[in-house]
Structure formats: structure tokens, C-alpha cells
Structure 1
Amino acid sequence: MSDAWQHAESFSVTNVKMLDDDVLCDVTILAGTDKREMRCHRFILASRSPVFYTMFCGSLPETGVVEIPDVEADVFQQVIRYLYTNDIVITPESVMAIMYMANKYDIQQLTKCCQEYLEEKMSVENVCVILDQAVKFEEKELEKKCYLFIAENSTEVFATEGFQVLSRGTLETVLAKEQDNHKLKPEDIYIACAKWAKTQCLMESPSDITNAKLRAKLGNLVDMINFCKMTYDSFIDNVSYDNILTGDEKVRYLQDIRKETTKPKSAFVVERLLIVTSSWTYGGFQDGISFRVSDDVTLCGVALYLPCEIGQVTGSLTVLQGQTPVLSQTITLQYRPEIKYEIIIFSSKIPVRSGTIYSVRQTLLGTKTYRGENYRGKQCVQGVEIEFLELNFGQSDNGTRLERGQFHGLMFEK
């Protein structure tokens, strides 16, 4: 029985055999800036791409050697083999270059493959690589998706190796958006930027890294870090000891921290519900509500409804940042004639960062209490927007919802 390659069942197998062995190839293409030579078949290219069809079969067909300098040779070779075999390996590093060529030559199925890859494979580890590629190839919609993904996962993304190899321009944009979101502590931003600078210096000159070179590499990026929001101890532990900043810069930032910490704080209460009525019952189930703010503040307490009849309720109160508990304390609420709610001061104040979702939950037992109705909507108090949300983590299975139930309001300091 013959083992001739022409006997292969798959048309793609015989196609790529003719490509690899330069059998009847009738066009030479010089791809990339290095003008790497590739021999192909006009028939295959024209049958898979309307643009190649016009190039070879239009009114002014290409007849000689074709130069394609804007697609690097390795990517061009991958896409050409895809046209022959309908198979390609896409990676975070190559996806944007492949999609660029797929769009340029109107290879719609390959464009779709790239889009599906990006939707399915975008992760904390690769989003920075994808973002840099999106910026390079001016894929604006993809840029928006990457920036949104980073904003939603900033803590994890800033700690990745991908973050350390971001281009400087893209990093500046990421930091600018983080300034609007305020999700990260400034010390975490500084640590991530210092690692970025070290990685960039290592790539340029691995044997000659100095603090002066790290500072030069950071450049004006340090102006995008809100050092005054650090504590004195945090600045000393995370910034001062590594000696990247100059002595004058350290003094200036420490002075800013001192001014911030000695600034007088003003407390304010944001009421959630408009009407207070009765009554609300408890059976050991949980009530909860979530919220977010537009600027960094401190959460000091919560306004809880008191019993509407003689007696008391007692149980646990928990505050969460995302899904992480940051405060837990036991509370007891006593009946007080004519008093419908009481502000419970927390055992410790909680720093609240803008854009992050926080939750307050309570599980109580006891007599009936007052309840609230008619959500007031998003409010702006002392320049801070406060928006309440349905409970973000856990079940509010005792009945509290955005429009009604427990938690009359919250107490903040700014």
C-alpha cells in the first residue's frame, strides 16, 4: 500500500506539505522589518482572504515579490499556515498581532478566534500583556475592557509579573485610572512601581542597577502616588529604607504625611432610608446592606433601629471589605421611648477606599424593632458620594433590601 503524502485524508495536511516543501509555490512574500522570505500559493491565499484575492486577482494584480513590512515574519507565518490548515496557536503575547493581520486581510474566522480567546482567557496574569498589545494596535474597545478588568482586580494585577513589563505610557494610564478609583493603598502602588522600575533596569543593564537609575526610571510616576495618605510607619517601612527617593523627596513627603495626620476630622451621618416605621422581627437570620464611596473616608459607626416595644435585641455586627471581614463586634439594642434608632460607634475605625464595595451585616435575636422604608438614593455629603447597594456578599435572608429594612445610615469621618 502506498504511503504517498497525497493519500492523506485531510486536505489541510496535503496543503501544508506543499507549502513546507515549496511545491508549485507561485508567490514570494517578504514579511516583517527583516524582510524574511516566504513562498506561498496565490490560490490558497486568494481563496481564504478577500484582500489577498484583490491583491492577486484585482485590476492591478501583484506580479513580483510582495513586501509586507507591518506584520512581523513569525506572525505572518502563523497566519499563512492558518490559511492552509485552519489551525493556529494563540497566546497572550501574539493575539493582538494575529488579530491585526486578520483584520487587515479580512480573515473573519481568525478575527473571531482572537476575540473569543481574549474574552475567555483574559486573566489577572495576562491582562497587562494584552493591554500593551491593544494599545500598540489601537484596539480601543479592547483597551477599555482591559482597564475595566484591572480596575476590578487591581490588588492582584499590580502584583503580577505582567505589570512589571508594562510599557511606560501604558503604566502611566493605569496609574491615572487608579487615581480615580482609589482602590489600592499608596504603599502598594509604590511597591509595584519600584518593582516595575527594577525590572525595566534589569532588561536594559542587568549588571549595573543603582538607586539613582531606579529613581530616573520612575521619573514623574512618583507624582502619581499619594504618599500623604500613608502612615508615618508605613512610609518608613515601605519607602524610606529602599533609598530610591532622594533625601529631599523623603522630607517633603513626610511633611505632607504630618499635615494630613494633623488635619482635623469632621464626622457626618448619611441616612439610607426616608421613613421610619414599625415593626421588624428577628429569628437569628441575617440582615445586610452594601455601599461604596467616591472618595477615601473613615467609617466610624452605623445607625441601627431600636426596639419598638419594651425589650432588647442582641447579636453580632460585621463589616466587610469586599469578602473580607474587617470588624466584628457584639451589640445589644435596648428599647428607649420615642427613640427610633441609635448610632453604634465601632470598636475601631475602618478606612474606606473609594470604588471598593463594603458591607455591613447583623444577626440579631430579641423583640421587634423599628424599620425603614424608601431608599434616598445616591447622596453627596461633604464632597463625598455615598451609594448604598443590595448586599454584595452573603445572604440578607431576614428581609433587608435596598428599599427597606434595617440599617438607617452610616457614620463617616473625613
Structure 2
Amino acid sequence: MDTNITTDWRDNKPLPECMMYMLNNEILCDVMFRVGDDKKPIKAHKYMLSSRSAVFHTMFEGSHQETGDITVSDVDEQTFRDILRYFYSDQITIGNDNVKEMLYAADKYMFAAVKRECETVLKTTAQSEHATKTLQTSYQYRLSDLKNESLDYIEMNTNACLLSEHSLNLSKDCLELILKSDYLNCSETEICQFTLKWGRHQCELTKLEPTGENIRKALEIICT
């Protein structure tokens, strides 16, 4: 009996495992991406990407087809690899540490399933003192139910939410959404104190002195 039989990597493996093996070992790959700030080279298969994303299908088969290496500067390497893993295997891990990056990539490549997974994760922070972060993210990516859920929690727990480390990073639009509410559970003095704090933070971000005039300019759209 021959004891030197070599087991083929395809033997007894389900399709997702075979596909991931081909991706990880760059077997028959026909497209090269340059990903992130370092332009990390990542190979993949046009057929597989086109089967999961209309954006990729247009990229490869549309009237203005991509030729040569494709630069992806706005998605980091790990996020891009995670997206590819989902394309090839339907497996993905999304948590509070990577949900914003995954949501951006899912929105960019019109991958609704990943976007829904991100929304599920974000629901856990919509009902916490970090609701301002969820409000900002849901507003940016047009997740109306999640936006309303975040606002509801902020209205009931205004002080705790405004003390969150994320509250100063609210955009003008999101801050205006909060300030327009008639149901905030805090005093007008506390709202004014937070608004001034937010204005000073905007000055710091733009490297301006936090003078009264500069703070007023940061707040002028909100206050009009």
C-alpha cells in the first residue's frame, strides 16, 4: 500500500475554505490593489469581487474599466482584508474597535450585508453614554433608525452623553440636531457650557486661538 499519497488542498473542504485558500495563496489572482497609506499590495480575483459588489463589477466591466494596479488610499489594509474575507467566505468580525472603518468600506463598495452588521454593532452604543459617537456615524452614513435611537437616548441622558469623550467630535449638523430638541434632560446653563466647550475644541482643531470671536465663528451657523 502506498503511504506517500499527497492530500490535495481541495480535498474535503467546503467552497469558502477553497476560495480563501486561493485568495491567501494568490492562486490565479488577476487584479492587484495598492491599499492604505503604505500602498500594501493585495491580490484578488475579479470574478469573486464582481459577484459580491456592483461597484467592483462596474470597475472591471463598466465603460471605464480599471487597468493595471488599483489604488485604495482611503481604506486601511486590515479593513480591506476583512472585507475580502467576507466576500470569499461570508465570515466577518465587527466590533466597536473597527465598526466605523468597516461601515465606511461597506458604504463605499455598496455591500448592504456588511452595512447591516455594522448597524447591529452600533446599536449597542446608541443606548450608552457614547450615543453621540453613534449619532455622528449614523448621520454620516444615513442610518435614520439608528440616528433617531441615538437622539432618544441623548435626550434622556443628556449630561452623561455630553460628558463622553466623543461629544466634542460632533459635527455642526449633529450638534444642531441635539440643540434643536425640546426634550433635553439638563439645564440651559449646562447646554451653554457644553456648547462653548465644543466651540473651543473646534478652534483647537483649526489651530486658532480660542478667543470669543473665533468661538462665535465656530458656533455662528448653529446659533443662527
Contact 1:197 1:217 in 2 (8 A): no
Output one character per residue of 1:281-314: Cα deviation in whole Å (capped at 9) or x when no partner: xxxxxxxxxxxxxxxxxxxxxxxxxxxxxxxxxx
Matches within 5 A, 1:258-297: none
Partner in structure 2 of residue 48 of structure 1: 52
Distance 1:149 1:182, change over 3 A: closer
Distance 1:184 1:147 in 2: 14
Partner in structure 2 of residue 184 of structure 1: 186
Structure with the largest fraction of helix? 2
Partner in structure 1 of residue 172 of structure 2: 169
Partner in structure 1 of residue 137 of structure 2: 133
Shift of 1:26: 1.3
Structure with the largest fraction of strand? 1
**Where does the alignment leave 5 or more consecutive residues of structure 1 unmatched?**
206-211, 226-414
Aligned with 1:39: secondary structure?
Answer: strand
Shift of 1:101: 3.3
AA aligned opposite 2:45:
H
Distance 2:48 2:10 in 1: 17
Contact 1:31 1:73 in 2 (8 A): yes
Aligned with 2:102 (options 93, 98, 102) = 98
Contact 1:125 1:161 in 2 (8 A): no
Q: Alignment length, in residue pairs? A: 216
Partner in structure 2 of residue 85 of structure 1: 89
Distance 1:81 1:181 in 2: 44
Output one character per residue of 1:9-59: Cα deviation in whole Å (capped at 9) or x when no partner: 343333333323333321012345664432111122122223323433456
Aligned with 2:32: secondary structure?
Answer: strand
Superposed CA RMSD: 4.1
Aligned with 1:124: secondary structure?
Answer: coil
Partner in structure 2 of residue 157 of structure 1: 161
Matches within 5 A, 1:209-358: 219-220=215-216
Distance 1:216 1:154, change over 3 A: same
TM-score normalized by the length of structure 1: 0.42
Contact 2:127 2:150 in 1 (8 A): no
Shift of 1:167: 3.5
Output one character per residue of 1:304-333: Cα deviation in whole Å (capped at 9) or x when no partner: xxxxxxxxxxxxxxxxxxxxxxxxxxxxxx
Output one character per residue of 1:45-97: Cα deviation in whole Å (capped at 9) or x when no partner: 12222332343345664342223445454433321221122122223464354
Instruction: Give the fraction of aligned pairs with identical amino acids, expressed as a percent.
Output: 25
Distance 1:147 1:6, change over 3 A: same
Question: Does structure 1 residue 24 correspond to structure 2 residue 24?
Answer: no
TM-score normalized by the length of structure 2: 0.69
Output one character per residue of 1:328-378: Cα deviation in whole Å (capped at 9) or x when no partner: xxxxxxxxxxxxxxxxxxxxxxxxxxxxxxxxxxxxxxxxxxxxxxxxxxx
Larger Rg: 1
Contact 1:32 1:68 in 2 (8 A): yes
